[in-house]
Structure 1
Amino acid sequence: MSNLIARFVKDESGATAIEYGLIATLIALAIITAATSVGTQLGVRFQEVATKLGAAAP
């Protein structure tokens, strides 16, 4: 019985899976944040171009 408890205490495979999950979550959040920022900036640029083209139209 003590051998079983000792093996359970030394087993780190679950902790490794949790760490990989946390890393994947942080990477996903970074990608989402970057994509949102780029999308917002692109929207602003396209709106500026549309405004200038509308003002230049006869």
Structure 2
Amino acid sequence: MKNEITNVIKGFIKEEDGLGVVELVLIIIILIALVLLFKDQVEDFIRGLFEKAATKTDDL
């Protein structure tokens, strides 16, 4: 009986399923914060990429 309880407690301590979700949420929050902080730079970068793509396709 004592071994079974010990095994259950050890299994509970080693279980890390919820940890992945917390890490994923933190990464998403950080990415959103970075996009909000650098919104203008991100927009300029993406706009530049689309302009380059448009000029390259016009050259074809």
TM normalised by structure 2 equals 0.52
Cα deviation, 1:27-47, whole Å, max 9, x if unaligned, reads: 2221xx123212211121111
Structure showing greater radius of gyration is 1
Which residue does 2:51 correspond to in 1? none
* 1:18-29 superposed matches below 5 A: 18-29=3-14
- How many residues matched? 40
Cα deviation, 1:11-53, whole Å, max 9, x if unaligned, reads: xxxxx111111112112221xx123212211121111111111
> Which protein has greater RCO, CA pairs closer than 8 Å, 6+ apart?
2
* Equivalent residue for 1:56, pick from 39, 53, 59: 39
Give the letter for the 1:23 counterpart: V
Which residue does 1:37 correspond to in 2? 20
After superposing on structure 2, the runs of 4+ consecutive aligned residues of structure 1 that deviate more than 4 Å are none
Unaligned runs of 5+ in 1: 1-15
TM normalised by structure 1 equals 0.53
What is the RMSD of the two structures over their aligned residues, measured on CA atoms? 1.7
